[in-house]
């Protein structure tokens, strides 16, 4: 088949490679190039135990307090609130114990073997040098702060995520000695030492294997008799037998046209500071629990990345999240120095129920986006699932929790 993949982030590039390996002719379309979006700036954690969404029971109560606290990792561009409200109502509505259980069950299947999935994708491409098996630690101020997250750890435990609790002093990375009262070390995780370069290396492999690339702005999807036949781009129509939409945070308007009409979706803006020439180098990624940011050793630099801000896709980065990252990092590691600090803001693609959309939409089209905080982790497996669905080896019902039409089907008998 001729497969057209829209978007060259980790999800699109992985989809393109798995479709290529299945024997299809593949064209990848992006307005910039590989990893021009969110896949460039993430924290590089292969979060196999990422089974807890942001919207959890009690968030509706905690959020106003956090927004009033300049040291809390939640920000809102207030002028955006009127547009945000319909999403926010649904997003907070999913903060129930029942949805958390449903989410953890579904995401465990998608994330649990992340390191192996990355190796399956990257082995032999040259990109494997960016992937390593690693622990992922969570640093808490004290034992009480750890206990406040008991429910989350119990959920991870239920799904077989291996972790060990330690007193802070017993965590043996000298960078963090004396910095936390309590540390939880997750086993069987992984790390990507330069997420942008990793996706670019995968892209180069795709091209070297004969994959086509069109640099063009995708303006719409082209439909004929209810089926999707092409992408309508600044460079003309790009048509194929199968069109896969992997535009990350920019996917929603076209996804709605392809059938996900009632999709409620937003950008969860996130921030990073890249400290080039950092004087301290942690061994593994560390999630600083109080600040909700991860500190990851990367090639030639250390990256602090995290924070959630609601403010839409258009507004520029806000200064306060950068200042908070900087303040918290310096308070935690007062001896840390660096030669250059690079700032970046990106958009996590966030459906209201936090579950990605993976599967068939209008005839001839597939959706693969909405991986919010764990898209790097889940990208390779998502690409594989979509390629299997396109090839008919995998039924969409196997991954029903991610059915793109889950919000948009009307109950039988209901009039439109």
Asked if residue 53 binds ligand FAD (CB under 6 A), the reply is no
Position 246 contacts ligand FAD (CB under 6 A): yes
255 near ligand FAD, rule: CB under 6 A: no
Q: Does residue 241 belong to the site contacting ligand FAD (CB under 6 A)?
A: no
Select from 51, 357, 358, 374 the one that contacts ligand FAD (CB under 6 A): 374
Binding flag, residue 9, ligand FAD (CB under 6 A): yes
> What are 163's two structure tokens?
């972790």
In the complex, the smallest distance separating the C-beta of residue 186 from ligand FAD, rounded to whole angstroms, is: 13
Indicate whether 115 belongs to the interface with ligand FAD (CB under 6 A).
no
375 binds ligand FAD (CB under 6 A): yes
Backbone angles phi and psi of 265, in degrees to 5 = -150, 145
Q: How far is the CB of 123 from ligand FAD (least distance, A)?
A: 19
Residue 9 or 364: the one with the smaller Cβ distance to ligand FAD is 9
CB of 293 to ligand FAD, least distance (A): 8
Contact 104, 158 (CB under 8 A): yes
Residue 146 vs 292, nearer CB to ligand FAD: 292
Residue closer to ligand FAD, measured from CB, 16 or 88: 16
Rounded least distance, CB 344 to ligand FAD, Å: 8
**Of the ranges 25-33, 143-151, 359-367, 389-397, which one interacts with ligand FAD (CB under 6 A)?**
25-33
CA distance 38 to 29: 16
The verdict on 297 binding ligand FAD (CB under 6 A) reads no
Please provide residue 207's backbone torsions phi and psi, each rounded to the nearest 5 degrees: -65, -45
Closest CA to 376 of 24, 38, 6: 38
Cβ-based nearer residue to ligand FAD, 225 or 267: 267
> To which H or E segment does residue 24 belong?
none
Query: Are 288 and 141 in contact, with CB atoms under 8 Å apart?
Result: no
Decide: is 54 part of the binding site for ligand FAD (CB under 6 A).
no
Q: Is 73 in the site for ligand FAD (CB under 6 A)?
A: no
Count of CB atoms within 10 A of residue 389's CB?
21
Per 3-state DSSP, the chain is made up of helix, strand and coil in percentages (nearest 5) of 35, 30, 35
Using the CB atoms, write b or e for 127-150: b if 16+ within 10 Å.
bbebbbebbbbbbbeeeebbeeee
> Could you say whether residue 346 binds ligand FAD (CB under 6 A)?
yes
Up-side HSE of residue 26: CA atoms within 13 Å toward CB?
Answer: 30
291-to-14, 31, 192, 243 alpha-carbon distances in Å: 31, 34, 22, 40
List Cβ neighbours of 330 (8 Å cut-off, separation of 6 or more): 336
* 360 makes contact with ligand FAD (CB under 6 A): no
CA 196 to chain centre: 13
Q: Rounded to whole angstroms, how far apart are CA atoms 30 and 370? A: 17
Residue 57 or 119: the one with the smaller Cβ distance to ligand FAD is 119
User: Looking at 133-141, 266-274, 322-330, 359-367, which segment touches ligand FAD (CB under 6 A)?
Assistant: 266-274
- Least distance CB 229 / ligand FAD (angstroms): 17
Interface with ligand FAD (CB under 6 A):
7-12, 30-32, 36-39, 42-45, 47, 217-218, 246-250, 270-272, 294, 305-306, 346, 348-349, 369, 371-377
């Amino acid at each position: 088949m001729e497969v057209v993949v829209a978007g060259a982030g980790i999800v699109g590039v992985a989809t393109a490679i798995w479709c290529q390996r299945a024997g299809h002719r593949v064209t990848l379309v992006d307005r910039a190039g590989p990893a021009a979006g969110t896949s460039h700036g993430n924290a590089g954690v292969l979060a196999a135990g990422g089974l807890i969404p942001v919207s959890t029971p009690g968030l509706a109560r905690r959020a106003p307090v956090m927004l009033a606290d300049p040291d809390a990792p939640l920000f809102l561009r207030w002028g955006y609130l009127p547009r945000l409200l319909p999403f926010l109502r649904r997003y907070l509505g999913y903060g129930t114990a029942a949805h958390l259980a449903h989410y953890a069950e579904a995401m465990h299947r998608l994330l649990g073997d992340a390191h192996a999935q990355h190796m399956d994708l990257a082995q032999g491409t040259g990109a494997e040098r960016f992937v390593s098996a690693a622990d992922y630690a969570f640093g808490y101020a004290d034992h009480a702060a750890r206990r406040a997250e008991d429910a989350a750890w119990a959920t991870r435990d239920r799904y077989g995520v291996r972790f060990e609790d330690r007193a802070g002093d017993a965590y043996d990375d000298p960078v963090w000695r004396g910095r936390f009262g309590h540390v939880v070390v997750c086993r069987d995780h992984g790390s990507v030492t330069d997420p942008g370069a990793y996706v670019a290396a995968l892209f180069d492999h795709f091209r070297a294997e004969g994959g086509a690339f069109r640099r063009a702005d995708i303006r719409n999807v082209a439909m004929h008799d209810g089926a999707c036949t092409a992408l309508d781009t600044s460079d003309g129509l790009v048509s194929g037998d199968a069109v896969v939409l992997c535009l990350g945070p920019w996917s929603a308007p076209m996804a709605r046209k392809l059938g996900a009409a009632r999709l409620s979706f937003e950008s969860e803006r996130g921030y990073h500071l890249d400290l080039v020439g950092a004087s301290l180098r942690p061994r593994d990624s560390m999630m600083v629990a109080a600040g909700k940011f991860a500190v990851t050793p990367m090639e030639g630099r250390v990256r602090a990345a995290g924070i959630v801000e609601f403010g839409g896709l258009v507004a520029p980065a806000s200064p306060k999240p950068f200042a908070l990252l900087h303040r918290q990092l310096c308070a935690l590691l007062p001896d840390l120095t660096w030669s250059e600090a690079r700032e970046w803001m990106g958009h996590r693609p966030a459906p209201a129920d936090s579950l990605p959309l993976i599967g068939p939409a209008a005839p001839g089209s597939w959706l693969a986006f909405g991986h919010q905080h764990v898209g790097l982790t889940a990208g390779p497996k998502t690409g594989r699932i979509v390629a299997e669905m396109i090839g008919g080896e995998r039924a969409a019902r196997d991954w029903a929790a991610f059915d793109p039409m889950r919000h948009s089907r009307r109950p039988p008998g209901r009039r439109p």
